[in-house]
Amino acid sequence: MSARLNTATAPAAAPSSDVAVAAAGSDPCCAEPLPVLGRDVTVPLVTGGEVTYAALDYAASAPALQRVWDDVAAYAPYYGSVHRGAGYLSQLSTDLFENSRVTVADFLDCREGDQVVFTRSTTDSLNLLASALPADCRVFVFETEHHASLLPWGDARVTYLNAPRTHAEAVRTLEEALAGREPSPRSSSWGDPIAPALVCVTGASNVTGELWPVKELAEVAHAHGARIVLDAAQLAPHHAVSVRDLDVDWVAFSGHKLYAPFGSGVLAGRADWLQEAEPYLAGGGASRKVARRADGGVDVEWHTTPARHEAGSPNVIGVYSIASACKTLTEAGFENLVAREQHLVDRVLEGLATVPEVKVLSLFGDESPSRPARGTPTRVGVISFVVEGWNSSHFAAALSAEYGIGVRDGLFCAHPLVRTLLGSAPQDPGECGAPEAQPGEASLNAIRVSFGAGTPDEHVERFVGAVKELVREGAKWRYRTEDGRCVPAV
């Protein structure tokens, strides 16, 4: 087994040289970006020539950290079945899998007794939690959530809360909703004569990038006998997340947004609801003992460990990649990463502010300036906007085809939020546009630029310059709609 693999499987690996270089320097704003795959990829332009691709769609999927890729490549020859075999590779893979669980728990600052369950994604994690809700559980969720948080709750009684316009309004809205819960004939697990309740809230909006008052919302939830799950899909890649400090009951996130795009996710938090629920998937790995009954059926004893909800052969590569990303970000230092990202956020916002035709979308508005007192950021590297005179799909297509810049356009799997932010103001059709609108409804979509620890300053500067040039001079190429997408006309 290679020395690199020995180091990578340790619960606390020493910083690798690339991370140490990236984090060095007295001014974190000037630190180098963390090395990621694809940083040297070139793409063709419709106007001729090639340019280094500017990947500014981190909020959808972030590129793999070079360290993650190296760790996975070092482990790959040693891949084996987990919890299934006596052979050396199986035992090594099992150790790596379980050590990864410890690494993630440390990364999230979990409490003693919390469980880390490996899933496919944030969406899968929240659907797992939804399947484990106690009977009569009420769910409270703001309409501003990503669909992964908005839709999984199935047969539970869901209360959708209106979009708040300030942090204080968010806290007040939740307080009033929880206070208005009706009594239940049975006591909840908190000992109050009300039905159990769960609050689901994002840590950072996947549309505006704005941070939510998670700790204050958790305090309100617990004061009213409710529990809270944090959707950290957009928070964990940008800021340190402490389950203990935020006092949330569960946290969910995805590897592919945490620079580990290998198809794995995490649900971490309190064990009781998970242990009491039927397994999310029934099958091998979730069962401790299975026996035939005299009547021809089977009796099953399920695990009470995280394996209860991890039936089937697990995604060892995906799990290990998450652990590697957690180590890399921790070693780089979130203080440095946040400061550098804030520098990029400021540059984008300042650049867009000089273009009158650009409107940046914001939920909390002036209450959450880019850099408030004490220098505490109030948004991550996710910014959405619209451009007067342009359909957003057309603008995003021109950024890609003419400047080699990858952004996202649409409603970002947060349709209620984007529609609230855009209101009923129609967008100009431009030369083409994505047909998201219902019959008789204005076509609404926005542009989202997102970035993080691997983004070079040049990509942000190129983006700002491209926005200004497109608004001032227009597109250099003609575009058409093909299968609902705006593409360059041939």
Nearest Cα residue to 122 out of 30, 258, 215: 258
The confidence score (pLDDT) of residue 344 equals 97
The confidence score (pLDDT) of residue 388 equals 93
The confidence score (pLDDT) of residue 306 equals 86
pTM greater than 0.75: yes
Partner residues linked to 251 by β-bridges? 230, 268
The confidence score (pLDDT) of residue 392 equals 92
Distance CA 380, CA 257 (A): 13
Q: Where are the beta strands (DSSP E) in 375-453?
A: 382-387, 405-406, 408-410, 446-450
Partner residues linked to 405 by β-bridges? 54
Catalytic residue from among 137, 413, 432, 486: 413
Distance CA 55, CA 480 (A): 23
Contact (CB, 8 A) for 445 and 385: no
Please give the helix or strand (H or E) that residue 142 lies within, else none. Answer: strand 138-142
Mean pLDDT by 10 residues, the chain (490 residues): 44 40 50 94 96 98 98 96 87 95 98 96 96 94 93 89 95 95 55 79 97 97 97 98 98 98 96 92 82 87 83 92 98 96 96 97 71 64 95 95 97 90 61 50 81 98 98 95 87
Contact (CB, 8 A) for 139 and 155: no
Q: Buried b / exposed e across 101-111, counting CB within 10 Å, b at 16+? A: bebbbbbbebe
Contact (CB, 8 A) for 160 and 190: no
Tell me how far the alpha carbon of residue 205 is from its chain's centroid: 9
Q: Known catalytic residue: 486?
A: no
The confidence score (pLDDT) of residue 432 equals 60
Distance CA 172, CA 174 (A): 5
Contact (CB, 8 A) for 342 and 371: yes
